[in-house]
Chain A
C-alpha cells in the first residue's frame, strides 16, 4: 500500500540555501518521513536545471518511485517543469507536487532555524498530500473551427479580418446598426493626423464583403452555453423593420422620414437624425434601421412615409426580432468603452453652461460629416472661438471618480489643440497634470504643438465658471486653475472648453462579462489571464478580450490585441483539439441524494440535474475546478480531482507534523 516517494530539496543557489538549511531538510525527510514512504531524499543546487530534472527522472526509473515531491520555488513557476520531467520518466505528471520553500519561506523569513523548521513542515505537508494524489489524464476536447467576435469596433474588425483571412469562418456581432465603433466618430487620429474614417472604412468594407465573415449588426448575444471548442451562442437579431434582401441602400426612406430625434450615439448628442436612419454615410452594412420607440407609426399608427416611398418595398413594419443559435469554438470580446460623464463633476459646468464639450462631442464638431461640417464654432453655429481651453484628466487620475490614467487623453488633447490652431487660429490653453506621450512619434507631435504656440498650463482645473470678476471676463467661460509651475492661481477666460473625459468600461460590462463567464476587476475592465504576459486571454478557456475592454489604450495597441487574439485562436483551430487541465469535480452517483445544493453554486452552469434518476452530474469540460461544490456537498458525494478532501486533510496533518513524533509538532521558532 505504501508509496515510494522521492523528495528533492532545491538550494536555488543561495536563494533558499542562504536561509533554509537545505541539507538538514533533506536529511530530515529521508529519516523522519521514511515510515511515510520516502525512499530517497536529495538536495541539489538548481532542481529546475536539466541536471536537476535528470535526478528525478533517474530515480523514477531506477528506484521505481511512485510519487515525487520537490521543495523549491512557487508552483506557479515550475510545477509544469517538474511534472513534465516525471512524465518523461514514465510517471503520471499529477503524481508530482511542488511545495514552495522560497517565496513562502526563505524569502520572507530571517530566522534561519525557524525557516528550516517551517520548510520541514511544508515539505511534510507536501509528502502527506502527494500520497493521496491520483494519476490523472488531461481532457482533450475538439475545437469547432468557427469563431465569434463580439463588438465591431477596430479591435473586433481586426480580429475578425485576421481570422477570416486565415481561412476560418467568423461571426461578427455588433450592437449598433453599423460596425466602426468609436473610431468611426473621430475626425483625425494621432499622431499621424490620418483621417480616421479614411483608414477605418476600407477595413469595414472588407468585413462587409468577406466570404468568411457573417456580419450580424443590430444584434446582441443573449446566451452562451458550452465550453472551449464547443460554445453554443444564442444571438438576437433585432428587427430593423427593413428587409435587407430587398434594400439597395438608396436612402430615400431616410430622406422622406418627417421626424427627427437627437442622435446621442454616433453624433454624441450634437446633431439630430431621422427616425429611420443610417448612422453615418460609410456605414457597413449600408441598410437603414427604424428606431421603433420613436417612430410615429408605432406610436400613433400613422405616417409610414418610408414604406410609401421605398422603390423596392423593403420596409417591413411587421418584422420581428430573430433569435438564432450558432456553434463556435472560440470567442473574442471586443466591446470597447464608454466615455466618463463630466456631469459628475459639477464644477466643470458641463451640461449647465454652454460651449463646454466632451472629447467625443468635439470630434463630431471637427468631423466634416458632423453637425457643423467640420467647422469649429460655438453653440451659435457661426462664431469661431477666439480662445479655447482643453482640460486633461477629466474623471481620470482622480480618487473621487476613476483612479487610473485613461492613456489616450493627453495625445487626444494635444491633437485637439493642433486642430483648433489649424482651423481657427484661436489662442489655446491645455491644462494638464502630466503629459503622457509614450507611443511612437507621440513626443514629437507634442513638440510640434508646443511650437505652434499652444500654452500648456500644469495644473488641475478647479472650476469652469461664468461668473466674471473683471471686465475682460464678462461673457466668457473662466477657467480657474493653479499654475503649479509658477505657483500662482490663474483665471483664464475662454470661449470654448473641451473636456478630455476619461475612458470607462461599458455601462453593462459586468452583465456582459457574466454572460461569457469572465469577471471584471475593481475598475470594471475585464480581468486578463496575466497583466504582463497574457493580456488577451481570460481565465475562461476559449474566451479572449481585445482592445479597450481590457483597459484604456490607443489604436495601435488595440489593433495589436485584436490580431493577437485572432492568432491565438488560429493556433488552436489548427491543432484541432485542446487539452484541458484535469482539475475538475465529479459526483459519485451512488452517494448523491439529489438534494441539489450544488446546482446553484456553480457559476459556470456545469452541474446538471437528472430528473429521472434524481441525481446531479457535473459536465467535466464546463467545470473550471473551483471546488465550491465539493465543499458544499453534505453527503461528501463530490470529489475534486487534484484537490480532494483526502489530499487537503492529509496536507494539514503533514503541516502540523502529526505524521511524526508528537513532541515535534509545535516546533516553529527558536
Chain B
C-alpha cells in the first residue's frame, strides 16, 4: 500500500468532517494509506501570513518537518493548506537564510527541515500518482449523466507552479469523466470563492459566491465539486445568505470531490459523510440511488 504523510488541516476536524471521511474511504479503495501526521498544527491559512511572514513559514514548516521525518510525501486535501505547504517548502529550498532561521526555531521541538519531501494536493495524488486508468478500474457505479461543475478554487492553481495552466486546467474534468460523471464547462472554476472575506468583508465575498453559483446554474450543473473545505463552506453554507442578499433562488448541491468519487466506487453514502449538507443533495443523490438499487 502506498503511504502518504496526511495533513488534514483544521477544518477537516470540524466543519468538514465529511471530507475527511470521504478522503480516507476513497484512498483505501485505491490502495493508498493516508497516515495522519502526529501532532500537526494549524497551517495559518490566509490569515497568518500578513501578520508575520516568518512566523507563518515556521508554523507550516513544523508540519513539513514532521512529514519529512516520516519519509513520506506530504499530502493535504485543502487548497489553502496545500498552497502554504507547497510554497513554504519551495522557498526553504531556494533561500538558505530562511531555512537556517526556521530550523533554529524548529530545533526547540527537536525537528529539522531539509525541504526534500514533495508536497501534493489529494486530487493530484489521485490523478497523477494513482492514475486515471487505475481509478477507472475501481468504478463500479459510474455516475452517468451527473453534471458536475469542477470547482478547482484559486489556491490550488495560484501562484503558478511549474508552468501549469492557471486559466484552464483540465485534470479535474478528466478525473470526473473517468468516474462516469459529465464535467460541465465551468467558467469560474479557478476564480476565488472569497475565502476568509466571508468573515471580514461579507458583501465582497457574497458577491463572488453569487457569481460562482450563477455560473454553475448557467452551465446546468447538478452539483459543484470542491477540493477545499473553505470553498465548500462558502459555496454551500452561505448560499442562503446569497439568496437573501441578491434575491436569487439558488439551491445548488455542493460536494467534496472525494464524496462524488466514493459514490462512483460504490461506497455507502453515510460512510462518505453524505447527509450532513445544508443544501440538500437529494436531487443529486438520485443518481447514486438508481445505481445502488440497480
B97 CB, min distance to chain A CBs, angstroms = 24
Complex CA distance for A346 and B215, rounded to whole angstroms: 19
B171 within 8 A of A: no
Please name all residues of chain A whose beta carbon is closer than 8 Å to the beta carbon of B168 when the two chains form the complex.
Answer: 346
CB–CB A469/B167 < 8 A: no
B214 within 8 A of A: yes
Complex CA distance for A22 and B248, rounded to whole angstroms: 84
With contact pairs A346-B167, A347-B167 given, residues A469 and B187 touching in the complex (Cβ less than 8 Å)? no
Which of chain A's residues 447-477 have a Cβ closer than 8 Å to chain B? 465, 467, 469
Please name all residues of chain B whose beta carbon is closer than 8 Å to the beta carbon of A469 when the two chains form the complex.
Answer: 211, 214
Query: Which one of B165, B167, B188, B214 has the greatest number of beta carbons of chain A within 10 Å?
Result: B167
Complex CA distance for A346 and B187, rounded to whole angstroms: 13
Question: B210's closest neighbor in chain A, by CB?
Answer: A469
Please name all residues of chain A whose beta carbon is closer than 8 Å to the beta carbon of B214 when the two chains form the complex.
Answer: 469
Question: B167's closest neighbor in chain A, by CB?
Answer: A346
Complex CA distance for A465 and B215, rounded to whole angstroms: 13
B166 CB, min distance to chain A CBs, angstroms = 9
Complex CA distance for A467 and B189, rounded to whole angstroms: 13
CB–CB B187/A467 < 8 A: yes
CB–CB A465/B167 < 8 A: no
CB–CB B215/A467 < 8 A: yes
Question: A463's closest neighbor in chain B, by CB?
Answer: B167
Complex CA distance for A467 and B165, rounded to whole angstroms: 20
Question: How many residues on A have C-beta within 8 angstroms of the other chain's C-beta atoms?
Answer: 5
CB–CB A465/B211 < 8 A: no
Complex CA distance for A25 and B165, rounded to whole angstroms: 64
Contact with A along B165-183 (1 / 0, CB 8 A): 1011000000000000000
Complex CA distance for A461 and B188, rounded to whole angstroms: 17
Please name all residues of chain B whose beta carbon is closer than 8 Å to the beta carbon of A467 when the two chains form the complex.
Answer: 187-188, 215, 218
Question: B218's closest neighbor in chain A, by CB?
Answer: A467
Please name all residues of chain B whose beta carbon is closer than 8 Å to the beta carbon of A465 when the two chains form the complex.
Answer: 187
Please name all residues of chain A whose beta carbon is closer than 8 Å to the beta carbon of B187 when the two chains form the complex.
Answer: 465, 467
Question: A346's closest neighbor in chain B, by CB?
Answer: B167
Contact with A along B214-240 (1 / 0, CB 8 A): 110010000000000000000000000
B8 CB, min distance to chain A CBs, angstroms = 34
A395 CB, min distance to chain B CBs, angstroms = 15
Question: B187's closest neighbor in chain A, by CB?
Answer: A467
A293 CB, min distance to chain B CBs, angstroms = 32
Complex CA distance for A347 and B167, rounded to whole angstroms: 7
Which of chain B's residues 177-203 have a Cβ closer than 8 Å to chain A? 187-188
Question: A468's closest neighbor in chain B, by CB?
Answer: B218
Contact with A along B258-276 (1 / 0, CB 8 A): 0000000000000000000
Please name all residues of chain A whose beta carbon is closer than 8 Å to the beta carbon of B218 when the two chains form the complex.
Answer: 467
A525 CB, min distance to chain B CBs, angstroms = 25
Question: A349's closest neighbor in chain B, by CB?
Answer: B167
Complex CA distance for A346 and B190, rounded to whole angstroms: 13
Which of chain A's residues 317-370 have a Cβ closer than 8 Å to chain B? 346-347
Question: A400's closest neighbor in chain B, by CB?
Answer: B160
Please name all residues of chain A whose beta carbon is closer than 8 Å to the beta carbon of B165 when the two chains form the complex.
Answer: 346
Complex CA distance for A325 and B218, rounded to whole angstroms: 66
A399 CB, min distance to chain B CBs, angstroms = 12
B92 CB, min distance to chain A CBs, angstroms = 24
B191 CB, min distance to chain A CBs, angstroms = 10
Please name all residues of chain A whose beta carbon is closer than 8 Å to the beta carbon of B167 when the two chains form the complex.
Answer: 346-347
Please name all residues of chain A whose beta carbon is closer than 8 Å to the beta carbon of B188 when the two chains form the complex.
Answer: 467
Question: A352's closest neighbor in chain B, by CB?
Answer: B168
Contact with A along B147-170 (1 / 0, CB 8 A): 000000000000000000101100
Complex CA distance for A467 and B216, rounded to whole angstroms: 12
Complex CA distance for A467 and B168, rounded to whole angstroms: 15
Question: B188's closest neighbor in chain A, by CB?
Answer: A467
Which of chain A's residues 371-419 have a Cβ closer than 8 Å to chain B? none
Complex CA distance for A614 and B8, rounded to whole angstroms: 72
Complex CA distance for A218 and B215, rounded to whole angstroms: 52
Complex CA distance for A469 and B211, rounded to whole angstroms: 8
Complex CA distance for A346 and B170, rounded to whole angstroms: 14
Question: B165's closest neighbor in chain A, by CB?
Answer: A346
Please name all residues of chain B whose beta carbon is closer than 8 Å to the beta carbon of A346 when the two chains form the complex.
Answer: 165, 167-168
Question: A347's closest neighbor in chain B, by CB?
Answer: B167
Question: A466's closest neighbor in chain B, by CB?
Answer: B187
B167 CB, min distance to chain A CBs, angstroms = 4
Question: A465's closest neighbor in chain B, by CB?
Answer: B187
Please name all residues of chain B whose beta carbon is closer than 8 Å to the beta carbon of A347 when the two chains form the complex.
Answer: 167
A350 CB, min distance to chain B CBs, angstroms = 12
Complex CA distance for A187 and B187, rounded to whole angstroms: 37
Complex CA distance for A346 and B167, rounded to whole angstroms: 7
Complex CA distance for A45 and B66, rounded to whole angstroms: 69
Complex CA distance for A398 and B69, rounded to whole angstroms: 41
Complex CA distance for A465 and B165, rounded to whole angstroms: 17
A102 CB, min distance to chain B CBs, angstroms = 36
Which of chain A's residues 70-111 have a Cβ closer than 8 Å to chain B? none
Complex CA distance for A670 and B151, rounded to whole angstroms: 67
Please name all residues of chain A whose beta carbon is closer than 8 Å to the beta carbon of B211 when the two chains form the complex.
Answer: 469
B214 CB, min distance to chain A CBs, angstroms = 7
A351 CB, min distance to chain B CBs, angstroms = 12
11 contacts between A and B (CB under 8 A): A346-B165, A346-B167, A346-B168, A347-B167, A465-B187, A467-B187, A467-B188, A467-B215, A467-B218, A469-B211, A469-B214
In the A-B complex, list the 7 residue pairs whose CB atoms are closest, starting with the nearest: A346-B167, A467-B187, A347-B167, A346-B168, A467-B215, A469-B211, A469-B214
Given A347-B167, A467-B188, A467-B215, 8 more A-B residue pairs with CB atoms under 8 Å apart are A346-B165, A346-B167, A346-B168, A465-B187, A467-B187, A467-B218, A469-B211, A469-B214
